[in-house]
Structure 1
Amino acid sequence: ETSVPLYRPLNLGATIMTVSHSYRALSEGGDGDGVEGYGHVLRDRRKVGELGWRERLCRFFTPMRTIWMFVGVNILNYLDRGIIPGAPNQFQSFIRNTIMIDENQESTYLGILQSVFIASYSLAVIAAGNLVHKYPPFLVMGMGLAIWCVAVFISGAAQGWGSFWLLLFGRTLSGVGEASFQCIAPAFIEDFSPPGQKVLMLGIFFSSITVGTAGGYAYSAVISTSWGWAWSFWLEGVAMIPFVVICCLLPFKLNGDNSNGNNVRTASNHASVSLSKEVSTIMTSPLFINISIGYSAYCAVLAGLSTFGPIFFQGLQLFDSERSASLHFSAIVALAGVIGTPIGGYISDRLAGDRATRDQILDTCLKIMAGSSLAGLAFALASAYCQSKGPFLFLMGTAIMLLFLPTGCCTMAVMASVPSNMRATGVALSILIMHLFGDVPSPVAVGWLKDRLAPRCNTKSIDGQEVLNPLCVFDGDGIRLTLVICLSYLAVTVLFWTVPILFPDTCGKPAQDPDQFQSLNNGDLGKRKDSYRGLGDVPDKEMPVAAA
Structure 2
Amino acid sequence: MGVHTAGTAVPGTSHATPAVSRGYARLVFALSFGLLLIDYMSRQVLNAVFPLLKAEWLLADAQLGSLSGIVALMVGVLTFPLSLLADRWGRVRSLVVAATVWSLATLGCAVAASYGQMFLGRFLVGVGEAAYGSVGIAVVLSVFPVTLRATLSGAFIAGGAFGSVLGVSIGGVVAQHLGWRWAFGVIGIAGLVMAAVYGIVVKEKRLGPGAVGGSGSSGGRTPIRTLLPRLFCSVSVLCAYIGSGLQMFIAMALLAWMPSFLNRYYAMPTAKAGVVAGAFALITGAGMILCGFVTDRLSRRIRGRKWTVAIICSLGTLVLLTAGFHLPVGPSQLLLIGAGTLLSNATAGPAAAMVANLTPAAVAATAMATLTLANSLLGLAPGPAVTGMLADRMGLLGALRLVPFVAVLSGVAFVIGKLRYEHDLRRSALLPAVTPTNQELST
* Preserved contact between residue 28 and residue 140 of structure 2 (Cα < 8 Å): no
Alignment partner, residue 41 of structure 2: 79
Alignment partner, residue 124 of structure 1: 78
Match of residue 270, structure 2, among 307, 322, 325: 322
Task: Give SS of 1:284's match.
Answer: coil
Using the alignment, how far apart are the partners of 1:510 and 1:94 within structure 2? 60
Using the alignment, how far apart are the partners of 1:479 and 1:230 within structure 2? 36
Pair 1:369-2:310 in alignment = yes
Equivalent residues in 2 for 1:249-268, closer than 5 Å? 249=200, 250-252=202-204, 253-256=207-210, 257=212
Using the alignment, how far apart are the partners of 1:61 and 1:348 within structure 2? 23
Alignment partner, residue 282 of structure 2: 334
Equivalent residues in 2 for 1:197-236, closer than 5 Å? 197-223=148-174, 229-236=180-187
Match of residue 348, structure 2, among 364, 387, 407: 407
- What fraction of aligned residue pairs are identical, expressed as a percent? 17
Using the alignment, how far apart are the partners of 2:427 and 2:208 within structure 1? 21
When residues 97 and 391 of structure 1 are mapped into structure 2, their CA distance, relative to the original with a 3 A threshold, is farther
* Preserved contact between residue 243 and residue 409 of structure 2 (Cα < 8 Å): yes
Using the alignment, how far apart are the partners of 1:206 and 1:132 within structure 2? 19
4+ aligned runs moved over 6 Å, structure 1? 58-61, 108-111, 505-510
Using the alignment, how far apart are the partners of 1:86 and 1:481 within structure 2? 29
Alignment partner, residue 295 of structure 1: 244
Using the alignment, how far apart are the partners of 1:230 and 1:381 within structure 2? 43
Task: Give SS of 2:130's match.
Answer: helix
Task: Give SS of 1:79's match.
Answer: helix
Pair 1:311-2:248 in alignment = no
Task: Give SS of 1:203's match.
Answer: helix
* Structure 1, 295-304 or 368-377: larger mean CA deviation: 295-304
Alignment partner, residue 59 of structure 2: 98
When residues 149 and 345 of structure 1 are mapped into structure 2, their CA distance, relative to the original with a 3 A threshold, is same
Shift of 1:245: 0.8
Structure 2: gaps spanning 5 or more residues: 1-19
Equivalent residues in 2 for 1:114-513, closer than 5 Å? 114-157=68-111, 161=114, 163=115, 166-194=117-145, 196-223=147-174, 229-249=180-200, 250-252=202-204, 253-256=207-210, 257=212, 274-319=223-268, 321-338=269-286, 340-353=287-300, 356=301, 360-361=302-303, 363-446=304-387, 452-453=392-393, 478-504=395-421, 511-513=428-430
Shift of 1:324: 0.9
Using the alignment, how far apart are the partners of 1:293 and 1:198 within structure 2? 19
Using the alignment, how far apart are the partners of 1:172 and 1:135 within structure 2? 23
* Preserved contact between residue 341 and residue 405 of structure 1 (Cα < 8 Å): yes
Using the alignment, how far apart are the partners of 1:67 and 1:322 within structure 2? 36
* Preserved contact between residue 299 and residue 434 of structure 1 (Cα < 8 Å): yes
String of CA shifts for 1:450-472, please: whole Å, max 9, x gaps.
5x45xxxxxxxxxxxxxxxxxxx
Shift of 1:180: 3.5
Amino acid at match of 1:144: A
Using the alignment, how far apart are the partners of 2:270 and 2:245 within structure 1? 29
Using the alignment, how far apart are the partners of 1:92 and 1:447 within structure 2? 26
Structure 1: gaps spanning 5 or more residues: 1-57, 100-105, 261-266, 454-476, 524-548
* Preserved contact between residue 128 and residue 183 of structure 1 (Cα < 8 Å): no
Using the alignment, how far apart are the partners of 2:122 and 2:48 within structure 1? 15
Equivalent residues in 2 for 1:23-42, closer than 5 Å? none
Using the alignment, how far apart are the partners of 1:448 and 1:97 within structure 2? 29
Task: Calculate the TM-score normalised by the size of structure 2.
Answer: 0.78
Using the alignment, how far apart are the partners of 1:522 and 1:255 within structure 2? 23
Shift of 1:429: 1.8
Pair 1:64-2:26 in alignment = yes
Shift of 1:192: 1.7
Task: Give SS of 1:248's match.
Answer: helix
* Preserved contact between residue 236 and residue 420 of structure 2 (Cα < 8 Å): no
* Preserved contact between residue 307 and residue 443 of structure 1 (Cα < 8 Å): yes
* Preserved contact between residue 265 and residue 329 of structure 2 (Cα < 8 Å): no
Shift of 1:139: 0.9
String of CA shifts for 1:144-200, please: whole Å, max 9, x gaps.
011111232344455x52x2x554444433232123422222222222225743432
Shift of 1:396: 2.1
Amino acid at match of 1:122: G
Task: Calculate the TM-score normalised by the size of structure 1.
Answer: 0.65
* Preserved contact between residue 210 and residue 334 of structure 1 (Cα < 8 Å): yes
| Largest Rg, 1 or 2 | 1
* Preserved contact between residue 418 and residue 510 of structure 1 (Cα < 8 Å): no
When residues 259 and 383 of structure 1 are mapped into structure 2, their CA distance, relative to the original with a 3 A threshold, is closer
String of CA shifts for 1:194-247, please: whole Å, max 9, x gaps.
574343233332332332233344345545555555543332222211111123
When residues 449 and 233 of structure 1 are mapped into structure 2, their CA distance, relative to the original with a 3 A threshold, is farther
Using the alignment, how far apart are the partners of 2:228 and 2:57 within structure 1? 42
Shift of 1:386: 4.2
Using the alignment, how far apart are the partners of 2:160 and 2:417 within structure 1? 27
* Preserved contact between residue 283 and residue 341 of structure 2 (Cα < 8 Å): no
Using the alignment, how far apart are the partners of 1:312 and 1:92 within structure 2? 26
Number of residues of Structure 1 aligned to a counterpart in Structure 2:
410
When residues 144 and 258 of structure 1 are mapped into structure 2, their CA distance, relative to the original with a 3 A threshold, is closer
String of CA shifts for 1:506-532, please: whole Å, max 9, x gaps.
67868324999xx9x999xxxxxxxxx
Using the alignment, how far apart are the partners of 1:292 and 1:503 within structure 2? 14
Amino acid at match of 2:41: L
Shift of 1:124: 2.2
Task: Give SS of 2:248's match.
Answer: helix
* Preserved contact between residue 111 and residue 447 of structure 1 (Cα < 8 Å): no
Using the alignment, how far apart are the partners of 2:400 and 2:48 within structure 1? 18
Using the alignment, how far apart are the partners of 1:151 and 1:491 within structure 2? 41
String of CA shifts for 1:483-536, please: whole Å, max 9, x gaps.
3344443433223222223455667868324999xx9x999xxxxxxxxxxxxx
Amino acid at match of 1:76: I
Task: Give SS of 1:489's match.
Answer: helix
String of CA shifts for 1:394-450, please: whole Å, max 9, x gaps.
122211211243322111111112123232221122222322333134444445665
* Preserved contact between residue 81 and residue 213 of structure 1 (Cα < 8 Å): yes
